[in-house]
Amino acid sequence: MIAGRLSDIQRFAWLRLARTETVGPVAFDHLIRRYGTPERALSALPDLSRRGGRAAPLALPPREAIEQELAAGQALGARLICGCEPDFPPRLAALDPPPPLLWALGRAELLSRPSVAIVGARIASAAGQRFARQLALDLGTAGQVVVSGMARGIDAAAHEGSLATGAVAVLGGGVGDIYPPEHDRLHARLAAEGCVVSESAPDRRAQAKDFPRRNRIISGLSLGVVVVEAELKSGSLITARLAAEQGRDVFAVPGSPLDPRSKGTNDLIRQGAILCEGVEDVLRALAGQSQLREREHAPDLEPPSDIDHDALRERIAALLSPTPVSRNDLVRAAAAPASAVMAALVELSLAGRAELLDGGMAAGV
């Protein structure tokens, strides 16, 4: 499988594969491990989507669109870091599946240093912002990079407290998309002194569907996630859930039961999150973590040739429903090798008949 720093031609193909319709992170990861290079994966796509039952040919992104994205990144001074390259953040590479790529604006070396995320309410209390700012400063003094999402409230306070020691902002839009607009100076400082990162194209404006991916990167970059303030229905709680699924520590700052912004954090503690009253609580938990190892990307085996792949694909399609099911359960239900089931799922997803989800899940469309 391809590894190491990519040539310009390979980087172009990698980006084009990542931007292809219906190729999400799960399918991308499978295609690269199965075919070895993005060029070979791109060549295989039309046949794979046809076999999956796609009526119209799968259209690859126009070369001009990829050239425009690369030019937009270059104009901003941003770097494209592909998932196979040595400076891709190791904690993100260990996710299943990893993001195919990141755009990074600023000090990309911060992405590989030990990190803790601080997230919380946009409409945060003054006390909550003060706590987040001080916690970020204390974590930075202890050698931790602080990761957050550049939103109003707790996120902004966390960035302000960690700019001098190491701050990373993960955006839903591109690295050039400044939101909220009043954070233009904060964005400029993060780009100059810290690092701004995103999976999205550099000039993309954030949409609602981009924020779950943003939250997954915030938790994925970090050894632990601290939630300072959050209501019961809050994006910060989604980040906490993703962190738990990724095997990261989840910390919550307790608050008054009379404040709705404390209901989410108090509920996290009730569910087993680590109570955080200061930096010592975070550092004590992190000291007990075993060193995170990078996930091995062994090439996928070719599906066995003695299987009726057309029949298996339709059997898998019949087993799928809008309710997500684990791929392991599909392997058992179909009584087929895992490599053949995964190949069938990728073909169905390329055809728009299945959705491959994080955590080894799949669903029918």
**Over its length of 365 residues, how does the chain's per-residue pLDDT go in tens digits?**
676 788 999 999 999 999 998 899 999 999 999 999 999 999 999 899 888 888 888 889 999 999 999 999 999 999 999 999 999 999 999 998 899 999 999 999 999 999 999 999 999 999 999 999 999 999 999 999 999 999 999 999 999 999 999 999 999 999 999 999 999 999 999 999 999 999 999 999 989 888 989 999 999 999 999 999 999 988 899 999 999 999 999 999 999 999 999 999 999 999 999 999 999 999 999 987 644 444 444 556 666 666 888 899 999 999 999 999 988 899 999 888 988 999 999 999 999 899 898 778 899 88
Residue 152's nearest CA partner among 127, 117, 125, 189 is 125
Alpha-carbon distance of 105 to 145, in angstroms, equals 16
What is the C-alpha to C-alpha distance for residues 134 and 140, in angstroms, rounded to an integer? 10
Nearest partner of 156 among 121, 108, 191, judged by Cα: 121
Task: Give the CA angle between residues 161, 163, 169 to the nearest 5°.
Answer: 95
| Structure tokens belonging to residue 93 | 């590479």
pLDDT of the residue at 303: 67
Architecture of domain 309-364: Orthogonal Bundle (1.10)
Closest among 8, 23, 218, 4 to 102, alpha carbons compared? 218
Q: What H or E segment, with its residue span, contains residue 117?
A: strand 115-119
**Distance separating alpha carbons of residues 242 and 247, to the nearest angstrom:** 9
Q: Which CATH architecture has domain 113-287?
A: 3-Layer(aba) Sandwich (3.40)
Per-residue confidence (pLDDT) for residue 295, from 0 to 100 = 44
pLDDT at 32: 93
217 touches 243 (CB < 8 A): no
At residue 341, φ and ψ (nearest 5 deg) are: -65, -40
Tell me whether domains 113-287 and 309-364 share a fold.
no
Q: Which among 273, 124, 150, 145 is positioned nearest to 211, based on CA atoms?
A: 150
The Cα–Cα gap between 20 and 22 comes to: 6
Helix extents (H) in the chain: 8-18, 25-35, 38-51, 63-76, 90-93, 126-141, 154-162, 184-193, 210-220, 235-245, 260-270, 279-287, 309-319, 327-334, 338-350
pLDDT value of position 293: 40
List the chain domain ranges.
8-104, 113-287, 309-364
